[in-house]
Amino acid sequence: MKLKNKVGIITGATSGMGKAMAMRMHEEGASLVLNGRNAARAEELKNTLEAKRLDSVAIMIGDVRQVATNELLVKAAIDQFGQLDFVITNAGILGLGKVTEVQVEDWHATFDTNLHSVYYLAKYSLPHLRNSRGTFIGNASIAAFKNFPNHPAYCASKAAMVALVKQMALDYGPDVRANCLCPGPVDTPLIWDSAKAFDNPEQAVAQAGEKTLLNRLGTPDDIAKLALFLVSDDASWITGTTINIDGGIMSS
């Protein structure tokens, strides 16, 4: 197993890409501290994972926009499992609306979720990742490089996340590897929320898949497989980079 005896934190882990990552990392032997805001989904995920390996999962319900939530995630990893080897940030929201239309509170909530929470978790996890020569992964988006109608808060926050994670790679290498995943259109609840910015949401989602060179939407597990590679020793010479995983849509 690629992650045997490894311990990781995954935020936004109770649905979509985060859940797929949790499932795949656990299958590869990792013990996990998982975060989400939906208690029912979190409990269901914990029961599913612990049915395979007892005492290998800790679930923490909490809002990553709060500094204390991130500090407690790191504390849980150290207290329960004794170490921390990788961190993956998945929590994200959209904050839809043109600059003149998006509400100020929605703008701040988007940056608090997509950017500030990444800083908070990095602040508390990096000392432990340095000790373990671990890995930090930010789940960004091709929206860091490509703009979409009515998505200024989302695009700006994802671009800032990319810059932040690259800075970590510079400041904390060679002890810590830090990289960003940049997914394209993936079939998760978020893409359907994003499609509300378009006149015909169902058509917008279908066209997003058709515009990829592989003529389909990505799946959460497509992203999870790449995340697994990046946190494993197979990627031991990869840091400070962004990897688009988008079915080729950025080349179309």
Taking the C-alpha atoms of residue 132 and residue 81, their distance in angstroms, rounded to an integer, is 13
Taking the C-alpha atoms of residue 168 and residue 205, their distance in angstroms, rounded to an integer, is 34
Which tokens belong to 25?
A: 């990392």
- In the numeric block, the tokens 């908070």 are attached to 120
Active site residue 154: yes
Find out whether 218 and 183 touch, Cβ atoms under 8 Å: yes
Partner residues linked to 186 by β-bridges? 218
Taking the C-alpha atoms of residue 139 and residue 236, their distance in angstroms, rounded to an integer, is 19
- Encode burial over 45-58: b for 16+ CB neighbours within 10 A, e otherwise: bbeebeeeeeebbb
One of 120, 124, 154, 172 is an active-site residue; which one? 154
Helix axes 39-50, 16-27, angle to 10 degrees: 20
Identify the helix (H) or strand (E) that includes residue 70.
helix 67-81
Residues taking part in catalysis: 154
